[in-house]
Structure 1
C-alpha cells in the first residue's frame, strides 16, 4: 500500500527535529539535515520494526529537494543585483579561472598519485573541483553575508564553475559513454551556456521597467503565481540547454533584484526557501549509502585535506586579484569549500560508464565530510583569519629576532 503522505510527514518531522537539535547545539543546520537523511535512507536498517527507509516517497522527496535548490539560488540572486555583477565582470573572470585552475590541477594530481586510470582520474578531478552552489547559498544567507564585498566574487565563481561544468560534462560524457567526443559540439555547448547567461542578464536589466509594471499586482496569490512561473520556466529552460537549473534560478533572482518589487518578493519567498531548502539537504542525505563508505575513508580524507588547501589558496589569490582584504579572501575560499550536487552528478556519470566502483563511495564520503565541514569553517572564518594572522606575526618576530 502507498503511504507517501505519511512518509513525507515523517520526513518533515525528522527534518524539524534535526533543526531543533542544531539550534540547541548552536551548530550549522546543514550537516544535521544531511546526517538524518543518511540515517533513514534506502540503505538504513529497520529500527524497532518501524521502516523509515522512504522507499516509496524518495523520488518525490528528491524532486522537492530540486525545488529547494532553485529557491536557495533564487533568493541569493535577490540579495544581490545584476549591476554589481556586471561591474565586477573582469575580476570575476580572473577569480573563477584561478579557482578552477588550482582545484582542477590538485584533483588531477591527487587522482594520479592514488593510481586511478585516465577516465577515473578525470572524474575524480571533476568531483573535487566543483563546489555546491546550494550549500554556498544557504551559508551566505544564514550568516547574513550577502551584502559583504566578497559575495560578488563568490557568486561569480559559482557561475564561472557552471560554464566549466557544461564544457567538462560534455567532454566526459563523450569519452565515457560513447568513447569519443566532438570538439565542435563541446565548443557549441560552452558558447550556448555562456550566451544564455549573458542574454538573461542583459535583456533582464533592459526589461526592468516592463517587469515593474507587470508585477504591480495587489493579490499576493497572483503575485506569487507570476513569480513562480518566471522562476520555473527560466530555470527549466536553462536545463534544456545544459546550463544547471540552479544557475537559471540565480539569474532570475539577479534580474528581479533590480525591480521595485524586490522587497515584496523576498518577503514572500522566504518561507519557501527555508522549507524546500531543508528538504534538499535531507534528500541529499537519502542518496548516501553508509554501508559503502568504509573502503574509501583514507582516499576521501586525503582529497578533503587537498581541497581545503586548494580552496584557501584560490580564495586568497582570487581575493587579492580583486583588491579585497585578506579577511574577505579567507571568506571566499571557505564559503565555497563545500561539495555537493555537482560532485554526485560526476560520480553518477562514472557509474553509468561502468568505471571503478570505488568512485561512488569516495564521492559520497568526500561530499559528506565537506558538506559538514564547509558551513562550520565558513562560520568560523573570523577566528581562522585571526589565528593565521597571529601565526604569521609570530613567524615574522622570530625571523627578525634571528637577524638581530
Structure 2
C-alpha cells in the first residue's frame, strides 16, 4: 500500500522530534531514526503500516551511502594507510567473520547462515564512529587512525558480501554457477568502467560545469550515479555496487568535493528513511520471546568484538592503551549490518526470528557506543597498567617544559590559527605553551624548537601540567564548541579569574561560550567579513581613514572589552607605551572588600579606571551599571594605566 500524506507527515514529525532529542543528548541521528521506526511501526504503536514503496525508496539511501563511500576511496589514501587498512582492517573482518561462522556451526546452523552473520557482525558504524571521534578531537590520534583504517576496509568488504549473499540461498551447483557468473560480470564491469569511465567522466563533467548551472550539475550527478547503478543492476549485480563504482570514478576528478556537498542532503534523507524502515521491521513480540538470545548476541558482539580488535591492534604493534581505545571505538554493529541482514533474510538464509534478534542486538550495541566512548579513558586506565605510566610520562614531560615558565599563554591547539598567534606572541616576547592532539604536528613543531607538546587540553591534569596556575591567559585556537565548553568548565574550577579567549566559526554559540566564562569569543565569519569589507571599500575609492573608522566601529560594537578603547585611527602606539591603558582581570574572593557593594561606590573615577566587563558564572559578560551589586566569585575586567590598576585591585580586595 502506498504511503499516504498523513502517514508521511506523521513520519516526518516523529523523525524531527526524535532526532532533535537525540542531538540534545549527544546521540547520533541514526539512532533517532531507528527509535522512530520502532515506535510508529506495525509491531509497536501501529501508527504506520509497513510499506513496500517506502522500503524501496529507503534502498536508495544505501545507494547514495555507497556512492559517498566510493568518493572516499582513492588510491593515494589507500596507499598511505595500506598497513592499517589491508593489514589490521582485513584481519579484523576475517577473524570476526570466521569466529561468528564457527559459533553458528556449533549451534547447529548452516555455514551459509554463519557467513551471512559473520559478514554482518564484522561491520562497525562508519557514520557513528567518525562523528564521535571527531567530536572528541581523536581522529588524528593513533587509535583514531586505526579506527578509520579498519572502517575503510570494512566498507570495502561490504561489496563482495553484497554480491555473495543473494546467491547463497540457492542449491550447490546453482550457487557455484551464480558466484562464478557474478565474478565474471564484476570483472567485465570493472574493466569497462575503470578503463572507459575516467576518460569519459572528466570531459563530461567539464562540459556540464561550463554551463554554470547548479541545477544542471545536480541533475547530471543524479544521472551518473543512478545510471551506473542501473547498469550494474542490469548485469545482475547490485545497485549499491554501481553507486560505489560511480563514486570511485568521480573521486578521480576535480569535482569530488562539490559532488560530496551536493549529494549529502539526498543521502542523509534517504538513509534516514532506511533506518526508519529497519526500526519498523522490529517485532517486539519476537524479541520478548527471544530476549535471552538478544542479550547473548549482544554480550558477544560488544565485549567479544572489543577483545578481537584490541588483540589484533596489539599484535600490529600498538600500545595496550591505543589497542583498547581502538576496540572501544569499533565494538558496535554498523549501518551495513542492517543492509546485509536484510539481504540475507530476503535470500532465505535465516528465519525471521533470527533476523529480528540480530537487528535488535546491533541496535542495542549502537545505543551503547556513545556511552562506552565517553568513559573509555577511565576504562583504559583501569585495564591497561602501562597506560598510567604513559600518561604520567607525558604529563611529566609537559610539566618539565613549563616548570620555569611564568606568565605565559596556554594555546589549546596548534593549527594554522594557533601557529599564527604563536608568531605574534614571539614578536612581543610573550612566552607561550601549546597543546595539540596531532602527533605528527607535535613532532614537526618540536623539531623546529617550538613549545608544543602532545596533550588533550580538555583534561584537568594536562592543563595543570601546562602551567595553568601560572599562566596569564588561555586561548582555544580551534573552532569546536563542545571541547571549548569542557575547557571553560575546567578553567572556571581551577582559575576562574584567568581570561579565556575562544575561537568559533560563527555567532551561533557565542552566548553559550560567554555564559560559560569566555572573556571573549572571536567568530571567523565576522573577522573574515570585516577584512572583505575593508578591501572592497578601499577598491571602491573610499578614503583609508573612513575605512578604518568603519571597521573600528563594528569591532567596538562586537567586542565589548574594546569599546571606547581605540584612541585614534592612526597613532604611534610605541610613544609613551608604558602609560597606555591596558586590561586587567580581578577575581573577587570571599571576604573581599567590594563584595556586596554596588559598582558605583567603588570610587574608580578618581583613579581613572573603567570597569570594561564583568564575568559571572552562567551569565553573559556585561558592562555593569553603577547600581550593580558585586558578589564573591565575580571577575572584573578593568581598563586603566598600570599604576592605577594596581590601586584599583587593592581597593577591590582590601578596601580604602
- TM-score interval (norm. to shorter): 0.7 to 0.9
With 34-43 and 380-389 compared, the bigger mean Cα shift is at 380-389
Give the equivalent residue in structure 1 for 2:169.
Answer: 173
Q: Is 1:213 paired with 2:206?
A: yes
The answer to which structure has the higher helix fraction is 1
Contact preservation (8 Å) 2:306, 2:327:
yes
The structure with more radius of gyration: 2
Q: Is 1:393 paired with 2:385?
A: yes
**Aligned ranges for residues 100-139 of structure 1 at < 5 Å?**
100-113=93-106, 115-116=107-108, 118-119=109-110, 122-130=112-120, 135-137=125-127, 139=129
**Number of equivalenced pairs:** 377
Give the equivalent residue in structure 2 for 1:49.
Answer: none
The separation in 2 between residues aligned to 1:242 and 1:146, in whole angstroms, is: 38
Give the equivalent residue in structure 2 for 1:363.
Answer: 358
Inter-CA distance 366–241: structure 2 relative to 1 (3 Å threshold): farther
**Aligned ranges for residues 262-273 of structure 1 at < 5 Å?**
262-273=256-267
Give the equivalent residue in structure 2 for 1:38.
Answer: 38
Tell me the TM-score normalised to structure 2 length.
0.50
Inter-CA distance 89–248: structure 2 relative to 1 (3 Å threshold): farther
The separation in 2 between residues aligned to 1:317 and 1:203, in whole angstroms, is: 43
Inter-CA distance 161–280: structure 2 relative to 1 (3 Å threshold): closer
Cα root mean square deviation, aligned: 3.8
Aligned-partner SS, 1:340 = helix
**Aligned ranges for residues 13-28 of structure 1 at < 5 Å?**
13-28=13-28
The CA deviation at 1:4 is 1.2
The answer to which structure has the higher strand fraction is 2
Question: Which of these residues, 339, 348, 351, is aligned with residue 341 of structure 1?
Answer: 339
Contact preservation (8 Å) 1:193, 1:242:
no
With 236-245 and 312-321 compared, the bigger mean Cα shift is at 312-321
Inter-CA distance 358–213: structure 2 relative to 1 (3 Å threshold): closer
Contact preservation (8 Å) 1:303, 1:366:
yes
With 32-41 and 247-256 compared, the bigger mean Cα shift is at 247-256
Give the equivalent residue in structure 2 for 1:258.
Answer: 252
Tell me the TM-score normalised to structure 1 length.
0.77
Contact preservation (8 Å) 2:166, 2:343:
no
Inter-CA distance 81–394: structure 2 relative to 1 (3 Å threshold): closer
Contact preservation (8 Å) 2:287, 2:357:
yes
Inter-CA distance 198–90: structure 2 relative to 1 (3 Å threshold): farther
The separation in 2 between residues aligned to 1:189 and 1:2, in whole angstroms, is: 33
Inter-CA distance 211–304: structure 2 relative to 1 (3 Å threshold): farther
The separation in 1 between residues aligned to 2:194 and 2:133, in whole angstroms, is: 27
Contact preservation (8 Å) 1:93, 1:156:
yes
The CA deviation at 1:334 is 3.7
Inter-CA distance 393–321: structure 2 relative to 1 (3 Å threshold): closer
The CA deviation at 1:303 is 1.9
Inter-CA distance 8–134: structure 2 relative to 1 (3 Å threshold): farther
With 265-274 and 83-92 compared, the bigger mean Cα shift is at 83-92
Inter-CA distance 204–45: structure 2 relative to 1 (3 Å threshold): same
Contact preservation (8 Å) 1:84, 1:152:
no
Higher relative contact order structure (alpha carbons within 8 Å, sequence separation ≥ 6):
1
Q: Is 1:157 paired with 2:157?
A: no
The separation in 1 between residues aligned to 2:5 and 2:230, in whole angstroms, is: 26
Aligned-partner SS, 2:27 = coil
1:33-69 CA distances to partner (integer Å, 9 max, x unpaired)? 11211111123345xxxxx1235xx223222311222
The CA deviation at 1:195 is 6.1
The CA deviation at 1:173 is 1.6
Structure 1 gaps, min length 5: 47-51, 398-404
With 9-18 and 78-87 compared, the bigger mean Cα shift is at 78-87
1:309-348 CA distances to partner (integer Å, 9 max, x unpaired)? 4533554466568777836844773476563121122233
Contact preservation (8 Å) 2:2, 2:53:
no
Contact preservation (8 Å) 2:37, 2:278:
yes
Question: Which of these residues, 48, 57, 69, is aligned with residue 64 of structure 1?
Answer: 57
Contact preservation (8 Å) 1:316, 1:330:
yes
Contact preservation (8 Å) 1:95, 1:157:
no
The separation in 2 between residues aligned to 1:313 and 1:237, in whole angstroms, is: 41
Inter-CA distance 371–70: structure 2 relative to 1 (3 Å threshold): farther
**Aligned ranges for residues 198-347 of structure 1 at < 5 Å?**
200=193, 204-205=197-198, 209-216=202-209, 217-241=211-235, 243-316=237-310, 326=322, 329-330=326-327, 333-334=330-331, 339-347=337-345
The separation in 1 between residues aligned to 2:195 and 2:377, in whole angstroms, is: 37
